[in-house]
Structure 1
Amino acid sequence: MPQPLIEKIDSFVAAAINLQLRQTGRLPLTIYDPEWPSECHQQPSEPGQQTPWKPVLQSQSDNSCHDMLDRLEQALGYSIHEDLRLWYSRYWSDPLPATSEWGELSLLFLWSEKDCERLRGNLIGHLLTKQKQKQPATLFFACTEPDGEKFLSINNQTGEIWLEQPGKQPIMKLADSLEAFLEKLTPKPIPDMEQ
């Protein structure tokens, strides 16, 4: 596995949680939904109630994300960039907010095993659109805030990070790699999910 990228992801996630604890004195809160359980929940809760959560490393024995990406590769007929495989198979987490020289961002993660199939469907839809438009294959991992109208993606051939808008040509190259991109981000406090 690409160790420098693992270190960058781990460092960003740790910085996000540390910032949260420094600024609020507690973990962020999310609404407990028994239909979407996650290892991120830090204590049992009643449905519809707020519960503390934090990003959790996916265990080595949990292959659900790798299996989902393997099935995605089979459906597409080509390999998925290793950086994206690592990104989605490192942590279970809700989106994490960040700021950069390009504005506010929301970094996307998988909440649980159940989330893997939803992501696979979204990535297939995105890649089929790219194919239809005869554009290079890209795979999204973040979106812009507050509107979410643009997204950030990894070019599947080069590993470069691009800013994109759905259905259009990529707008601007942001970094040569996911590792280089993460160096340019600053975490923001994680907002609570309201009841």
Structure 2
Amino acid sequence: MSETLLLQQTLNQFNQLHPTTFHDDAWPSPCEIGGLLDDEQIAWLPVAREGESLNALAKALEVQFPIALHQFYSEFFAPNIQATFEGHGIELIQPWSKDDFERLQENITGHVLMKRRLKQPETVFIGLTEQDDVLITVELATGNVCLEQLGKKPHHILASSLEAFVEQLSII
């Protein structure tokens, strides 16, 4: 599975770089290891998760999410993952903790409802780009991974599936 590839790439990054992330007392995570390295940074390691998925959200929204999307958001806790795609910097959104997973689902709900209100293809965001108003999304009807300007239809297909997209990433 591509999401396992994403986890493997992230673990490889950890083993090579020992990444750190911003620590916020209000948002603790099982990913945090050790104590603060300075006033704001803490080392982290992805933590595998089991038993959680987007099934309840999909049912509530009356949609079907691609299986890869369930895995992408439900396989592990981690901070957002920095990567490059075709030479462009991107940030893949990941749940940092159980509370963050709940917040993520609320944001996905708002996004899908906005797409319905605008009568646009339903998408779920998975990442951020170097441009503040351009998201990386998965189009629910096709599974395509696309670039999408906020409030607009997807305008550029990056990959035909989430699996194909992840395989083209370089974790940084």
Q: Same fold (TM over 0.5)?
A: yes
> Within 2, Cα distance between the matches of 1:118 and 1:43?
26
Q: Output the amino acid matched with 1:81.
A: P
- The Cα RMSD (Å) is 2.1
Q: Output the amino acid matched with 1:112.
A: S
Q: Deviations over 1:99-144 (max 9, x none)?
A: 1216110011000001122111111111011111211111111110
> Within 2, Cα distance between the matches of 1:186 and 1:165?
23
Q: 1:14 to 1:51 in 2, by over 3 A?
A: closer
Q: Partner of 1:167: helix, strand, or coil?
A: coil
Residue 92 of structure 1: aligned partner: 77
The 8 Å contact of residues 83 and 159 in structure 1, kept in 2 or not, is answered as: no
Residue 51 of structure 1: aligned partner: 42
The 8 Å contact of residues 12 and 182 in structure 1, kept in 2 or not, is answered as: no
Q: Are 2:79 and 1:82 equivalent residues in the alignment?
A: no
Q: Which moved more, 1:82-91 or 1:49-58?
A: 49-58
Tell me: higher relative CO, structure 1 or 2? Use CA pairs within 8 A at least 6 residues apart: 1
Residue 114 of structure 1: aligned partner: 99
1:84 positional shift: 0.9
> Within 2, Cα distance between the matches of 1:171 and 1:5?
24
| 1:1-195 mapped onto 2 (5 Å cutoff) | 4-19=1-16, 21=17, 27-45=18-36, 49-58=40-49, 60=50, 63=51, 65-66=52-53, 69-101=54-86, 103-145=88-130, 147-188=131-172
> Within 1, Cα distance between the matches of 2:164 and 2:20?
30
Q: Deviations over 1:31-68 (max 9, x none)?
A: 4333222111112459x65321122222x3xx3x42xx
TM-score, normalised to structure 1, is: 0.79
Q: Deviations over 1:64-119 (max 9, x none)?
A: x42xx233123212222211111001110111111121611001100000112211
Structure 1 gaps, min length 5: 22-26, 189-195
1:164 positional shift: 0.5
Q: 1:118 to 1:134 in 2, by over 3 A?
A: same
> Within 2, Cα distance between the matches of 1:88 and 1:161?
15
Greater radius of gyration (CA): 1
Residue 191 of structure 1: aligned partner: none
Q: Partner of 1:43: helix, strand, or coil?
A: strand
Q: Partner of 1:80: helix, strand, or coil?
A: coil
Structure 2 gaps, min length 5: none
The 8 Å contact of residues 95 and 107 in structure 1, kept in 2 or not, is answered as: yes
Aligned residues: 172
> Within 2, Cα distance between the matches of 1:107 and 1:134?
26
> Within 2, Cα distance between the matches of 1:44 and 1:54?
13
